[in-house]
Amino acid sequence: MNRNLLLFLFVVPLLLACQPDSEAPADEDDVVLVLVDGEPITLPMLERVMRAQGVEENDHERMRELLDELIRMRAVANVAEREGLADEPEVRAELRLRELELLNHHYIDRLQRRHPITDEDIEDVYSRQRERAGEVQYRIETITYPGQAEALRALARIDDGVDDYETVRDEAEAEGLAVEQPGWIDLSQVPDDFAAALDGREVGAVVTSLLETPQGWRLVKVLNQRELQAPPLEQVREGIARSLLQQRRRALVEELYEQAEIEPMLPLEE
């Protein structure tokens, strides 16, 4: 941003009007636009608000409005601080939480800018996903049991020839269990152990392994299959990049958590 322009637009007329008696308690590198009761409104503060609201540098009228809003906020905050509001426990806790969130966001964002996701990273993930997905898609039907033991008993009845899948499904529906057809899946969309059991199963076959999901344990039958038509790399590039960023973020947080020295100050239950 053109700092000389901002100084011309804002600082000279405002400082002449305010005529502060004290120096601004701001960082040395910050350009102070105006003092409000001795407290500074700086150029980085204005720039941050402009970015958040999508205000361009040549929109001088909107820039003046934002600066005026900041001055009004600073005036209110000054009174709040003088009256001790920042020392109240609830407000102090909220300020600390906001500081935590802000530092977390900017620290992780800075590391990700220094070590960006590369085209090679994306292509490697795409290649491995293609390999893991296999060549076939499966359309499945599932019966969801709340517990693993129930699902295993139902699977054993089918494997041992005691009942067929249709009988087990009808009983499950009568008991109010969910019988669903979630659509087409490939081997990359399920856990490795289930993928191994699903791989190569014929139409009409019941998979000999259970599929664990957040809803419960699923007994799975293959209804149909077709050749997998994998999407081109360019179609999924952005999604892979987002996924990699999320994975790196989680890994970084866990690494720093493990490195941190954590000292409980109150007795905690196990």
Per residue of the chain (270 residues), what is the pLDDT tens digit?
454 445 445 444 444 344 444 444 556 567 999 999 999 999 999 999 999 999 998 999 999 999 999 999 999 999 999 999 999 999 999 999 999 999 999 999 999 999 999 999 999 999 999 999 999 999 999 999 999 999 999 999 999 999 999 999 999 999 999 999 998 999 999 999 999 999 999 999 999 999 999 999 999 999 999 999 989 999 999 999 999 999 999 999 999 999 999 988 877 665
* CB 138 within 8 Å of CB 225: yes
**Sequence-ordered list of residues with C-beta below 8 angstroms from that of 159, at least 6 positions apart, any chain:** 206, 208
Q: What pLDDT score was predicted for residue 183?
A: 86
Strand ranges of the sheet holding 216-227, from the earlier edge strand across to the other edge: 178-185, 136-145, 216-227, 211-213
Query: In terms of pTM, does the model score above 0.75?
Result: no
- Judged on CB neighbours under 10 Å (0-12, 13-18, 19+), 115 is exposed
The whole-angstrom separation of Cα 255 and Cα 148 is 33
Distance CA 82, CA 87 (A): 10
Span 105-156, pLDDT tens digits: 999 999 999 999 999 999 999 999 999 999 999 999 999 999 999 999 999 9
Count the alpha carbons within 13 Å of 164 in the hemisphere toward its beta carbon: 3
- Gap between the Cα atoms of 194 and 212, Å rounded: 9
Q: H helices of 58-191, where?
A: 60-82, 89-114, 119-133, 148-159, 165-174
So what's the pLDDT on residue 230? 87
pLDDT at residue 266, rounded to an integer:
79
Question: Do 207 and 171 meet the contact criterion of CB atoms below 8 Å apart?
Answer: no
CATH number 3.10.50.40 is the correct assignment for the domain at 132-227: yes
Domain boundaries of the chain, sorted by first residue: 3-87, 132-227
Residue in the structure block whose two tokens are 């239950």? 269
Among 98, 42, 36, smallest CA distance to 71 is for 36
Do 113 and 147 contact (CB within 8 A), yes or no? no
Q: Which of 194, 68, 63 is nearest to 140 (CA)?
A: 194
* Contact between 62 and 43 (Cβ < 8 Å): no
- Go through the chain and tell me how many residues it has: 270
The Cβ-side half-sphere exposure at 151, using a 13 Å CA radius, reads: 24
The two structure tokens encoding residue 223: 């209804």
